[in-house]
């Protein structure tokens, strides 16, 4: 039995996804043209309303974006002015501080000559102490070597005496054994 209503699901898809006319959709799907007209009105009018709503929303968003952009530009200009003002203030303070430091330094110069003399005395004492320390370290190193040599000699003598004692101990032991046997 032939399908009287045709493929209505496909017709709805074509209405939604294409710009085909009702006649073209009828030929392609075999659906009833009155049914296609009914669904076309509902589907395409809803899509048209959605597009109009989207257009309104898009226009609203574009206006909001433009307003935000303008506000950001004003804010950026204000920030640039603030930064320029702060830079000028920093330069002024730097110049003032440099001038003040220079003035204080020049007024303090006579006191530094006395300090320089004390510094030179301390430096001489430090250098003398370094020389003395170097001498003491060399003496200590020499004493350490001398002590090590003495220890080495004593160890050598101790080993020699131990070898003699071992020899005599063994000899006495052998003699005692020979006496026991004999």
The one-digit pLDDT tens for each residue of the chain (182 residues) are 345 567 889 999 998 899 899 999 999 999 999 998 999 888 888 878 887 777 777 777 778 777 887 888 888 888 888 888 888 888 888 787 777 766 666 655 555 566 676 777 788 888 888 888 888 888 888 888 888 888 888 888 888 888 877 777 777 777 777 777 76
Q: Is residue 1 part of a domain?
A: no
Q: Is residue 91 part of a domain?
A: yes
Predicted pLDDT at 30? 92
Q: Is residue 3 part of a domain?
A: no
Rounded to two decimals, the pTM is: 0.29
Q: Is residue 2 part of a domain?
A: no
If one counts the domains in the chain, the total is 1
Q: Is residue 59 part of a domain?
A: yes
Predicted pLDDT at 1? 38
Predicted pLDDT at 120? 78
- Which residues are within 8 A (CB) of 173 and not within 5 positions of it... i.e. 6 or more apart? none
CB 36 within 8 A of CB 15: yes
Predicted pLDDT at 29? 92
Q: Is residue 147 part of a domain?
A: yes
Burial, 82: exposed, middle or buried (Cβ in 10 Å; 0-12, 13-18, 19+)?
exposed
Q: Report the candidate in 12, 47, 52 with the shortest Cα–Cα distance to residue 20.
A: 12
Predicted pLDDT at 108? 54
The encoded tokens of residue 102 equal 């220079």
* Number of neighbouring beta carbons within 10 Å of residue 40: 20
Predicted pLDDT at 182? 63
Angle separating helix axes 22-29 and 33-181, nearest 10 degrees: 70
Domain span at residue 61?
A: 8-181
Q: Is residue 168 part of a domain?
A: yes
Q: Is residue 53 part of a domain?
A: yes
């Amino acid at each position: 039995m032939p399908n009287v209503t045709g493929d209505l699901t496909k017709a709805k898809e074509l209405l939604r996804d294409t710009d085909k006319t009702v006649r073209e959709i009828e030929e392609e799907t075999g659906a009833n043209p009155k049914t296609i007209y009914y669904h076309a009105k509902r589907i395409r009018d809803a899509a048209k309303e959605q597009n109009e709503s989207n257009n309104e929303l898009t226009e609203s968003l574009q206006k909001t974006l433009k307003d935000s952009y303008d506000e950001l530009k004003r804010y950026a200009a204000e920030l640039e002015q603030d930064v320029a003002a702060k830079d000028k203030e920093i330069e002024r303070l730097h110049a003032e501080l440099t001038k003040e430091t220079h003035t204080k330094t020049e007024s303090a110069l006579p006191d530094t000559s006395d300090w320089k003399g004390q510094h030179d005395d301390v430096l001489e004492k430090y250098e003398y102490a370094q020389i003395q320390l170097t001498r003491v370290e060399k003496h200590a190193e020499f004493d350490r070597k001398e002590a090590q040599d003495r220890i080495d000699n004593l160890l050598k003598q101790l080993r020699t005496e131990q070898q003699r004692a071992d020899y005599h101990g063994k000899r006495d032991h052998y003699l005692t054994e020979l006496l026991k046997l004999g």
